[in-house]
Amino acid sequence: MDPVGPQDSPVVRVVEFNTALRPPFDMARVEARRIRMAAGVVAGRHVHNGPVVGSVVRGTVLFQVAGQPATVLKPGDVFYEPANVPIEHFDAQHSEVEFVAFFPLGEDQTPEITFPE
Query: pTM of the prediction?
Result: 0.86
- The CATH number given to whatever domain includes residue 57 is 2.60.120.10
List pLDDT tens digits, range 21-69: 777 778 899 999 999 999 999 999 999 999 999 999 999 999 999 999 9
> Quick check: is 3 in a domain?
no
> Quick check: is 34 in a domain?
yes
> Quick check: is 12 in a domain?
no
> Quick check: is 46 in a domain?
yes
Please tell me the total count of domains within the chain.
1
The boundaries of the domain holding residue 53 are 21-114
d(Cα 62, Cα 105) in Å, to the nearest integer?
Answer: 26
> Quick check: is 58 in a domain?
yes
